[in-house]
Amino acid sequence: MPPRKSPFFELRSGSVDTLLFVVKTTDLDAIRAELTRRFEATPEFFANDTVAIDVRRLAADERVPLADIAQLLDSVRMRPVGIVADAAQQSWATEAGLPFLEARDRRGAKANDGEAGDEAGDSAGPSEPAQGNAQAQASLALDAASNAASAETQPAEPVRVATSAQTLVIEKPLRSGQRIYAKGDLVVLGLVSYGAEVIAEGNIHIYAPLRGRALAGVQGNHDARIFCTCLEPELISIAGIYRTTENPLPADVLGKAVQIRLDEEKLMIEPLRLT
């Protein structure tokens, strides 16, 4: 007779999505400087996100102090939960005291450096191709993520798009867990769902409800703006100055068409007159 189920807890098999922080160098000072540069303008972008430290890009004779890297990630409010390593690396990677995890990234960890994007955030996950037509790449990446999300057991995967400094147009809705980065302006024609994130060095235009996070001017562009036709966000930010749902939006802008801009160090949210 099978044992009775416990009313207090259960152990079940399952899968949890996490970001990958792919280590490409043993220079801890360089890693620290790059983390500071990338995240000081957007302190909330990866706040409390879980991350696995991936060391598979390192050469066979290279080692890094994983405990120190875990502390660096914690300093930018990311939460290290494990290590992704090749079998030969596991002997020294155990020193960090973190468990080993299996990565399900589609691209090989030993991808050529020329294929790896250098946009903000790609150090925390598998990179997308950085060459060719940016909009075509975005469409392919979103199609792949949408197909994965259609399976009941597979949540939507994060999406990062390496682009040139031109306007990037996304025509498909963004599901929870998807992220889009644009070096120029970003135009989204579909819903940005709860848990989805859009980030741009320039302006962001969303011609649909914004329910996730939108971060414009992330490299310190105080003139950047966010435009959307239905404002219901988890977080909005321009040049690192942000506002979350902990501070409720006024009734005259909540769910309305608005523009968001900076006035000195204050976010201004103003209704758009579309008729």
**In this predicted model, what pLDDT tens digit does every residue of 4-19 receive, in sequence order?**
667 888 877 766 667 7
C-alpha span between 42 and 200 (Å, rounded): 11
Q: CA torsion 132→136→140→146, rounded to 10°?
A: 150
Claim to verify: residue 265 and residue 231 sit in the same structural domain: yes
With bands split at pLDDT 50, 70 and 90, how would you rate the model's confidence at 56?
very high
**pLDDT, tens only, 222-265:** 999 999 999 999 999 998 888 887 778 889 999 999 999 999 88
Q: The domain that contains 105 carries what CATH number?
A: 3.30.70.260
Query: Of 221 and 43, which is predicted with more confidence?
Result: 221
Residue 166, in any domain of the structure = yes
Instruction: Give the count of domains, the chain.
Output: 2
Whole-number pLDDT of residue 197: 92
Q: Encode 6-21: b = buried (16+ Cβ within 10 Å), e = exposed.
A: eeeeeeeeeeeebbbb
Q: The domain that contains 178 carries what CATH number?
A: 2.160.20.70
Residue 38, in any domain of the structure = yes
Report percent pLDDT > 90 for the chain. Answer: 39
Nearest CA among 19, 37, 143 for reference residue 84: 19
Claim to verify: residue 120 and residue 138 sit in the same structural domain: no
Would you state the structure tokens that stand for residue 119, as one six-digit string?
């946009």
Range of the domain at 68: 19-124
Query: Of 42 and 196, which is predicted with more confidence?
Result: 196
Residue 24 to residues 63, 123, 174, Cα–Cα distance (Å):
11, 9, 29
Claim to verify: residue 116 and residue 145 sit in the same structural domain: no
